[in-house]
């Protein structure tokens, strides 16, 4: 299969492996790059990834420890690494890419606005440490996008129906991603131009998952839970709109869709919320993606002067500035009078 | 690659322009016709009939609205009538004729004799021309070194080296109709080659300027013609010029900046031709014929048309006045004043060049190689290639690249801004008025300022002192005029008052005893706007 028809996946974690599995089973050529030689060996010889052993990895899928090979054999690359590794992997990979590559990341994270690498570089787009901005700093290509949505690795492996949305300012990124990542009926990929919105929604979902864990841990009923979800989507939409994103993006796959599937015991963010409800406050509290997103999101809201009671509440609990039990403020905006 | 050696290959490529002209026009005609015909679909908005009708409709509407019709209407009415009965071949023939017609309307001319005149003894003679005969000596003395009043600085060596290696696209800020001659002399003094550029057709109404523009490579842009075919011809002409190595100049801000705030939102139409031209060069196997986009700011101590521009900006209805034809530029008397008073001031215009970018907004090395944000050399040709190395056409992608380039330009303009004393004093006084009025809203200030506004001279000097210190500490804000960095703030205020009280018909600021009296808040606002990207004191 040609370079144009090969999907490169950066990272052999749970999502990268599951995505590779779905695509390989759909007959697509996949090349996974992992820096872990044992993982590469396991995929190549045992057709299984230690991080998601239940995922079948049929032959069209290969693994490599060589980023140059990845760049040579695939034009479309999916960056599926943790947020803490994005910058380093981008720099490493950037040595081998050029302006023709397309890079789509699947990292639902947000860093503090103060850490945004190019916070003053652009006058017309939202800058709050979006992963695409980090990638722009490390990669030579400008063709960058994001993929997000309620597609859990376990569901992908089991062949459950899943959908995701891919967003980019470049139509070509969306079109190529849809052409190569769409694998119905298991994985359907929709398109969007709202790169900032999808990135923000995807990242804030982690923060709201913490809030839902907290809510469930406190034993609140399904009514308050529904209010929390609705208010979370509303405030995320306000925050996004203030920053130039499309408000409706937050009610889509990357926002609401993602939130509905994350609030389970499998999620580290959800577990964190439950621990907080039990009064367990440790230094590890701020180490999940959702916790980081809550703090960064609350800071962004302050800068943009947008009221975000849920985000602000979660950030305050995480920082030890509010009692976990005193979470009524999460459920709504006492100042607002209209929905 | 810094060097003061004379520019070799890049030196005035426009000298061969007249020989090339017919070939360039033919190329424009061939490409535009081929593209329109290839994309035409009968019965849709892309049919030849639709394209021709669009031209006829817009021309009829324009001519009906104008005072002088000169019988030109008949031509378009006739076309409109004949359209329905035309065969596809006849439509194509008509299309070809129209493309040729608009191509000839756009195309420029380069007369080496005029260039020699304009750049040699021209400035002196030009000065004399602009001086009233009763003060010939005074005028000659003031204008003998017209071009010396325009100082280029910044990344000149790098721009010069890029001009040798590839083709320059100079992209300055745009404040005045004097920008074209100002940057022309700025390039000359920087030993950079002359450029061709698109000038609004309305500028050709000034007989003096028109003569020089017509013969120094300017091509005419008629902003009244808003139909697609005309835009196609214009863009193709620019593309072909770039492909043939003609250094070009675009004002990415579009029309003159009404407010004097450094441009943030750029119009990227012609700038986008840089991506198209480079893509075509790559397709033709010439990826090393590079294009370099050179950001520049043109910084005037005083702006000829400031009064008209700021009135237009502030007037509610003015925002729609896209083409101003009755401003100071069209009044010869005001231009004479401009040359005599404004340009008599040493270094009254600073043209500052920044580091060039490639057409995709990438930085470049001192050797002219494109580099990514991490500082790695990257092949610019790869940006227009597909998965298998083939050059791919994608208008949306190219527009996105141009937007990225526009963001880089808008981001660097503040840093390239040079502040004259007039800007600094205007900012300090405006800040004081805002503090007193508890608002920065110009409309509210205009309503509040019923009585006399005065600021103690001592306060103004102290304010200028602090502003200068903030600018010196933050290069991203821009820089003071390099020739007056050592000047005391006291002298700077005196110099600014001299400028702000003498040239414009309305006194902006004048000294009355120990105070500075504000005579015109609108113009004060206009001049302070050049510093608008600098946050208020204490709000950094």
Task: Give A2-25 pLDDT, tens digit per residue.
Answer: 899 999 999 999 999 999 999 999
Using CA coordinates, name the residue in chain B closest to A5: B387
pLDDT tens digits along A128-160: 678 999 999 999 999 999 999 999 999 999 999
Q: HSE of B127 in the Cβ direction (CA atoms, 13 Å)?
A: 25
CB A117, CB A46: distance < 8 Å: no
Distance CA(B103)–CA(B95), nearest Å, equals 12
Percentage above 70 pLDDT, chain B: 81
Contacts with A196 from chain B: Cβ below 8 Å = none
Beta strands in B254-341 (DSSP E): 291-300
Q: What's the confidence (pLDDT) of residue B125? A: 47
Q: What's the confidence (pLDDT) of residue A125? A: 42
Mean pLDDT of chain B: 85
pLDDT band at B107 (very low <50, low <70, confident <90, very high): confident
Q: What's the confidence (pLDDT) of residue B6? A: 42
The answer on pLDDT for B143 being more than 60 is no
Inter-chain CB proximity A142 and B378 less than 8 Å: no
Residue B210, phi then psi, degrees to nearest 5:
-60, -40
B89 by Cβ neighbours in 10 Å (0-12 / 13-18 / 19+) ranks as exposed
Give residues with Cβ within 8 angstroms of B165, minimum separation 6.
B290, B292, B368
Residue of B535, B523, B530, B532 whose CA lies nearest to B313: B523
Angle CA B524–B528–B534, to nearest 5: 160
Tokens 């190219």 correspond to B398
- B342: β partners: none
Give residues with Cβ within 8 angstroms of B108, minimum separation 6.
B17, B196, B214, B217, B218, B219, B220
Contacts with B379 from chain A: Cβ below 8 Å = 98-99
Best to test chain B binding among A123, A172, A174 (most B CBs inside 10 Å): A123
> Is B10 or B50 the better-scoring residue by pLDDT?
B50
Distance CA(B497)–CA(B510), nearest Å, equals 6
pLDDT tens digits along B72-100: 888 899 999 998 899 999 999 999 999 99
Inter-chain CB proximity A94 and B383 less than 8 Å: no
Please name the member of A75, A99, A122 whose beta carbon is closest to the beta carbon of B378.
A99
Contacts with B403 from chain A: Cβ below 8 Å = 169
pLDDT band at A333 (very low <50, low <70, confident <90, very high): low
Inter-chain CB proximity B378 and A120 less than 8 Å: no
The answer on pLDDT for B139 being more than 60 is no
Residue of B123, B119, B101 whose CA lies nearest to B110: B119
pLDDT tens digits along A193-207: 999 999 999 999 999
The answer on pLDDT for B207 being more than 70 is no
Inter-chain CB proximity A138 and B476 less than 8 Å: no
Give residues with Cβ within 8 angstroms of B179, minimum separation 6.
B172, B251, B256, B298
Using CA coordinates, name the residue in chain B closest to A176: B387
Give residues with Cβ within 8 angstroms of B420, minimum separation 6.
B299, B300, B301, B348, B350, B481, B496, B499
Residue of B184, B217, B178, B224 whose CA lies nearest to B201: B224
> Is A300 or A110 the better-scoring residue by pLDDT?
A300
Residue A124, classed as helix, strand or coil, is coil
Distance CA(B318)–CA(B395), nearest Å, equals 33
> Is B443 or B2 the better-scoring residue by pLDDT?
B443
CB B245, CB B13: distance < 8 Å: yes
Contacts with B372 from chain A: Cβ below 8 Å = 94, 139-140
Least reliable range by pLDDT among A18-32, B4-18, B208-222, B445-459: B4-18
Best to test chain A binding among B376, B392, B409 (most A CBs inside 10 Å): B376
ipTM attached to this prediction: 0.89
Distance CA(A39)–CA(A23), nearest Å, equals 19
Inter-chain CB proximity A138 and B374 less than 8 Å: yes
Contacts with B378 from chain A: Cβ below 8 Å = 98-99, 140
The answer on pLDDT for B10 being more than 50 is no
Best to test chain A binding among B373, B401, B475, B534 (most A CBs inside 10 Å): B373
Reading the block at residue A111, the tokens are 């860093």
- B509: β partners: B518
Reading the block at residue B131, the tokens are 């001086």
Query: Looking at residue A46, what DSSP letter applies?
Result: I
A283-319 as b/e: b if 16+ CB within 10 A:
eebeebbbbbbbbbbbbbbeebebebbbbbbbbbbbe
Q: Is B513 left (phi over 0), alpha (psi -120 to 50) or beta?
A: left
The string of DSSP codes covering A159-209 is T--EEEEEE-S-HHHHHHHHHHH-BTTTEEEEEES-HHHHHHHHHHHHHHH
Answer whether A171 touches B (CB < 8 Å): yes
Q: What's the confidence (pLDDT) of residue B128? A: 42
pLDDT (mean) for B408-435: 96
Reading the block at residue B440, the tokens are 């920065």
Inter-chain CB proximity B394 and A172 less than 8 Å: yes
Which secondary structure element, helix H or strand E, spans residue A166, and what is its range? Answer: strand A162-167
Beta strands in B144-183 (DSSP E): 150-154, 167-172
Residue B363, classed as helix, strand or coil, is strand
Torsion, Cα B228 B229 B230 B234, to 10 degrees, reads: 100
pLDDT tens digits along A227-256: 999 999 999 999 999 988 999 999 999 999
The reply to whether the predicted model has a pTM over 0.95 is no
Answer whether A94 touches B (CB < 8 Å): yes
Q: What's the confidence (pLDDT) of residue B51? A: 93
The answer on pLDDT for B366 being more than 70 is yes
Distance CA(B521)–CA(B354), nearest Å, equals 32
pLDDT tens digits along B211-234: 666 666 778 888 888 899 999 999
Q: What's the confidence (pLDDT) of residue B134? A: 38
Reading the block at residue A18, the tokens are 């599951």
> Is A251 or B119 the better-scoring residue by pLDDT?
A251
Inter-chain CB proximity B397 and A121 less than 8 Å: no
A331 by Cβ neighbours in 10 Å (0-12 / 13-18 / 19+) ranks as buried
Least reliable range by pLDDT among A53-62, A77-86, A182-191, A281-290: A281-290
Using CA coordinates, name the residue in chain A closest to B380: A99
pLDDT (mean) for A163-189: 97
Tokens 């090969």 correspond to A6
Least reliable range by pLDDT among A100-104, B155-159, B303-307, B397-401: B303-307
Distance of CA B308 to the CA centre of its chain: 18
Contacts with A2 from chain B: Cβ below 8 Å = 387-388
Inter-chain CB proximity A121 and B407 less than 8 Å: yes
Query: Looking at residue A42, what DSSP letter applies?
Result: I
Give residues with Cβ within 8 angstroms of B491, minimum separation 6.
none
Percentage above 70 pLDDT, chain A: 89
Please name the member of B373, B376, B386 whose beta carbon is closest to the beta carbon of A95.
B376
Reading the block at residue A162, the tokens are 């899943």
Distance CA(B223)–CA(B241), nearest Å, equals 20
Dihedral sign, Cα of residue B390, residue B391, residue B393, residue B397: positive
Percentage above 90 pLDDT, chain A: 72
Q: What's the confidence (pLDDT) of residue B320? A: 46
Q: HSE of B413 in the Cβ direction (CA atoms, 13 Å)?
A: 29
pLDDT tens digits along B276-324: 999 999 999 999 999 999 999 999 999 888 888 998 888 854 444 445 5
Q: In what order do the strands lie in the sheet with B150-154?
A: B150-154, B349-353, B291-300, B167-172, B248-249, B196-200, B218-221
Least reliable range by pLDDT among A50-64, A86-100, A324-338: A324-338
The answer on pLDDT for B116 being more than 90 is no
Residue of A110, A63, A69, A66 whose CA lies nearest to A86: A110
Inter-chain CB proximity B382 and A99 less than 8 Å: yes
pLDDT band at A331 (very low <50, low <70, confident <90, very high): low
The answer on pLDDT for B399 being more than 70 is yes
Answer whether A45 touches B (CB < 8 Å): no
């Amino acid at each position: 299969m040609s370079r144009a028809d090969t999907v490169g996946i950066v990272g052999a974690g749970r999502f990268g492996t599951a995505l590779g599995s779905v695509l390989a089973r759909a007959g697509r050529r996949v090349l996974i790059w992992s820096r872990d030689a044992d993982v590469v060996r396991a995929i190549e010889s045992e057709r299984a990834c230690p991080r998601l052993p239940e995922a079948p990895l049929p032959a069209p899928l290969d693994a490599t420890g060589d980023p140059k090979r990845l760049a040579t054999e695939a034009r479309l690359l999916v960056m599926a690494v943790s947020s803490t590794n994005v910058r380093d992997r981008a720099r490493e990979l950037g040595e081998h890419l050029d302006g023709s590559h397309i890079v789509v990341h699947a990292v639902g994270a947000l860093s503090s606005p103060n850490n945004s690498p190019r916070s003053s570089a652009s006058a017309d787009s939202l800058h709050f440490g979006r992963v695409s901005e980090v990638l722009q700093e490390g990669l030579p290509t400008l063709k960058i996008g994001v993929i997000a949505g309620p597609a859990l690795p376990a569901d992908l492996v089991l062949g459950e129906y899943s959908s995701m949305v891919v967003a980019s300012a470049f139509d070509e990124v969306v079109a190529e991603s849809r052409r190569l990542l769409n694998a119905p009926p298991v994985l359907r990929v929709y398109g969007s131009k709202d790169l900032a919105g999808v990135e923000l929604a995807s990242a804030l979902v982690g923060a709201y998952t913490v809030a839902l864990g907290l809510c469930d841990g406190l034993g609140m009923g399904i009514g308050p839970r529904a209010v929390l979800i609705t208010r979370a989507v509303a405030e995320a939409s306000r925050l996004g709109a203030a920053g130039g994103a499309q408000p409706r993006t937050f009610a889509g796959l990357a926002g609401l869709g993602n939130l509905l599937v994350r609030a389970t015991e499998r999620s580290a963010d959800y577990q964190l919320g439950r621990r907080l409800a039990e009064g367990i406050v440790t230094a590890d509290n701020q180490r999940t993606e959702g916790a980081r997103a809550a703090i960064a999101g609350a800071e962004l809201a302050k800068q943009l002067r947008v009221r975000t009671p849920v985000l602000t509440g979660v950030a305050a609990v995480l920082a030890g500035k509010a009692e976990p039990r005193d979470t009524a403020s999460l459920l709504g905006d006492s100042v607002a009078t209209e929905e | 690659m810094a060097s003061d050696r004379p520019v070799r290959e890049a030196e005035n490529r426009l000298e061969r322009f007249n020989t090339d002209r017919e070939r360039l026009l033919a190329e424009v005609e061939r490409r535009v016709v081929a593209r329109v015909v290839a994309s035409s679909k009968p019965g849709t908005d892309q049919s030849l009939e639709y394209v021709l009708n669009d031209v006829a409709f817009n021309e009829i509407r324009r001519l009906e609205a104008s005072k002088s019709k000169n019988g030109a209407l008949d031509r378009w009415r006739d076309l409109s009538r004949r359209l329905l009965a035309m065969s596809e071949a006849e439509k194509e023939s008509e299309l070809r004729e129209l493309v040729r017609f608009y191509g000839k309307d756009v195309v420029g001319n380069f007369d080496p004799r005029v260039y020699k005149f304009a750049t040699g003894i021209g400035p002196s003679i030009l000065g004399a021309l602009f001086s009233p005969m009763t003060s010939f000596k005074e005028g000659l003395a003031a204008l003998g070194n017209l071009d010396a009043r325009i100082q280029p600085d910044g990344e000149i060596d790098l721009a010069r080296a890029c001009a040798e290696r590839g083709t320059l696209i100079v992209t300055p800020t745009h404040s005045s109709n004097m920008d074209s001659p100002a940057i022309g002399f700025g390039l000359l003094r920087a030993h950079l080659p002359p450029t061709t550029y698109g000038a609004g057709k309305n500028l050709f109404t000034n007989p003096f300027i028109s003569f020089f523009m017509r013969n120094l490579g300017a091509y005419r842009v008629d902003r009244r013609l808003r139909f697609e075919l005309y835009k196609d011809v214009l863009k193709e002409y620019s593309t072909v010029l770039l492909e043939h190595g003609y250094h070009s100049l675009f004002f990415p801000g579009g029309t003159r900046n009404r407010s004097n705030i450094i441009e943030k939102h750029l119009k990227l139409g012609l700038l986008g031709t840089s991506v198209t031209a480079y893509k075509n060069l790559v397709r033709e196997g010439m990826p090393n014929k590079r294009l370099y986009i050179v950001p520049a700011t043109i910084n005037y101590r005083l702006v000829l048309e400031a009064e008209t521009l700021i009135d237009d900006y502030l007037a509610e209805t003015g925002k729609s006045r896209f083409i101003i034809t009755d401003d100071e530029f069209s009044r010869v008397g005001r231009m004479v004043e401009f040359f005599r008073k404004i340009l008599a001031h040493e270094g009254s215009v600073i043209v500052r060049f920044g580091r060039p970018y490639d057409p995709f907004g990438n930085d470049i090395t001192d050797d002219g190689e494109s580099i990514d944000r991490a500082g790695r050399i990257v092949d610019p040709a790869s940006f227009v290639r597909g998965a298998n190395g083939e050059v791919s056409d994608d208008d949306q992608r190219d527009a996105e690249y141009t937007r990225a380039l526009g963001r880089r330009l808008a981001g660097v303009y503040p840093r390239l801004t040079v502040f004259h004393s007039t800007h600094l004093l205007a900012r300090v006084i405006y800040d004081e008025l805002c503090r007193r009025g508890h608002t920065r809203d110009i409309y509210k200030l205009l309503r509040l300022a019923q009585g006399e506004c005065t600021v103690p001279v001592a306060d103004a000097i102290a304010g200028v002192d602090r502003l200068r210190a903030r600018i010196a500490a933050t290069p991203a804000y821009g820089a003071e005029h390099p020739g007056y960095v050592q000047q005391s703030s006291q002298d700077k205020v005196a110099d600014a008052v001299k400028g702000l009280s003498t040239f414009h018909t309305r006194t902006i600021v004048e000294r009355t005893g120990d105070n500075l009296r504000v005579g015109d808040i609108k113009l004060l606002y206009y001049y302070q706007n050049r510093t608008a990207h600098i946050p208020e004191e204490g709000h950094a």
